[in-house]
A = this chain, B = another copy of it.
Amino acid sequence: MSSPSPVEAAPEFALIARHFRPLAGPEALGLLDDAALLTPPPGQQLVLAADAMVAGVHFLPEDPPETIGRKLLRVNLSDLAAMGATPLGYLMTIALAPATQDAWLAGFVAGLALDQAEFGLRVLGGDTVSTPGPLSLSLTILGHVPPGAALRRMGARPGDDLWVSGCIGDGYLGLRAARGEIADPDGALARRYRLPEPRITLGLGLRGLARACMDVSDGLLQDASHLCRAGDCAAEVEAALIPVSDPAAPIAALASGGDDYELLFAAAPADRAAVAAAGLAARTSVTRIGRFTTGAARVTLRDVNGADITPRKLGWSHM
């Protein structure tokens, strides 16, 4: 009936201490308190987003542990990029199988540490629980913008150009490559699927320039239709202009596949040179793929002859 010694504390606490404390900034209070204490940047608005990922649904259970946490962090960073926000920090909850190996957790945390350094943010808090189901992760990210400077989905107007960053369809091709369904000799496609590239620098450069912006997470065409609904206008996308890494792949599949995490945005034709300069400054390619028009809020995909080749399924649903 003697008191347990301090070292006999519940295994959860030892696990958190060993793996996650090194990721935490001073605001996290060593992950020892009930909450984190953050002094927000004075005069700034906070930008807040949350995303969840489930093994077998949003990533492959056999994906390297180093990439799993990073993918969720990058998906959330992409939401900050879409708002033109600067990253600040994040909280993450993890539902693990009870028998998760220490080596798996070490890899998971090592991946997060790399991205914390790359994107300049720190973990502020979280929770680790057990689940009889698949590994599930949830992440809330915080960023900041000057008041009124955030990029929004609403704001596209008829006559605006429709732009996209990077390359579309690599998320779709990368998933197929990771599953071994298509050739991927140097692993570049699978890497794109596992580690999307949030366009933080480009998002910052588009402040005051993009009239509407979002990130492509559910398929280029579906996400373009969101910009249409938010701006109450239509959009025409020229299939031949969509930047793709594999011209032989079916364009409808690439343009409706998910997981691209590129920025999709509207800008005035007068700002074409400024948008190109913002892309150069961010070392991120930007491509004009169509335009907004008057009409019902829908997106139309056109081939080189102007024929409507819009697929029935515009994108991917999380449900």
> Which residues of B lie under 8 Å from residue A218 when comparing CB positions?
10
Q: Look across to chain B and name the residue whose beta carbon is closest to the beta carbon of A315.
A: B10
Find A10's partner among B10, B50, B96, B222 (CB 8 Å cutoff). Answer: B222
| Option from B36, B57, B317 in Cβ contact (under 8 Å) with A47 | B36
Residues from 126 to 162 in A contacting B, C-beta threshold 8 Å: 126-134, 136, 138, 140-143, 145, 147, 150, 152-154
- Give the contacts of A201-231 with B (CB-CB under 8 A): 214-215, 218, 222, 225-226, 229-230
B2 touches A308 (CB 8 A): yes
* Interface SS of chain A: mixed
Total count of chain A residues near the partner, CB < 8 A:
94
CA distance A318 to B126 in the complex (A): 13
Q: Are B92 and A3 in contact (CB under 8 A)?
A: no
A155 to chain B, nearest CB (A): 11
Asked if A93 is at the interface (CB within 8 A of a chain B CB), the reply is yes
Q: Which residue of B lies closest to A218 (CB)?
A: B10
Judge whether A273 is part of the interface by a CB distance below 8 angstroms. Answer: no
| B6 pairs with A225, CB closer than 8 A | yes
Whether the Cβ atoms of A127 and B6 lie closer than 8 Å is no
> A residues 1-60 with Cβ under 8 Å of B?
1-6, 9-12, 15, 29, 32-40, 45-54, 56-58
**Taking the complex as formed, is A319 at the interface, i.e. its CB lies under 8 A from any CB of chain B?**
yes
Which residue in B9, B38, B92, B152 is a CB contact (below 8 Å) of A46? B38
Is A68 an interface residue when CB atoms closer than 8 A count as contact?
Answer: no
A81 to chain B, nearest CB (A): 9
A297: Cβ under 8 A from any B Cβ? yes
Q: Is A80 an interface residue (CB 8 A)?
A: yes
A53 to B36 alpha-carbon distance, docked (Å): 20
CB distance from A136 to the nearest CB of B (A): 5
Whether, in the assembled complex, A287 has its beta carbon less than 8 Å from a beta carbon of chain B, the answer is no
Contact A39 B147, beta carbon cutoff 8 Å: yes
Q: Does A177 contact B (CB under 8 A)?
A: no
- A266 an interface residue at 8 Å Cβ cutoff? no
Which residue on chain B has the smallest CB distance to residue A85? B35
Q: A93-B138, A318-B129 are in contact. Are A35 and B47 (CB under 8 A)?
A: yes
Ordered by A's residue number, 24 sampled pairs between the chains whose C-beta atoms are within 8 Å are: A1-B309, A2-B310, A3-B300, A4-B298, A5-B298, A10-B222, A32-B226, A33-B152, A34-B49, A35-B47, A35-B49, A37-B46, A37-B83, A38-B48, A49-B91, A52-B94, A91-B140, A93-B138, A96-B319, A98-B319, A127-B318, A130-B318, A130-B319, A133-B136
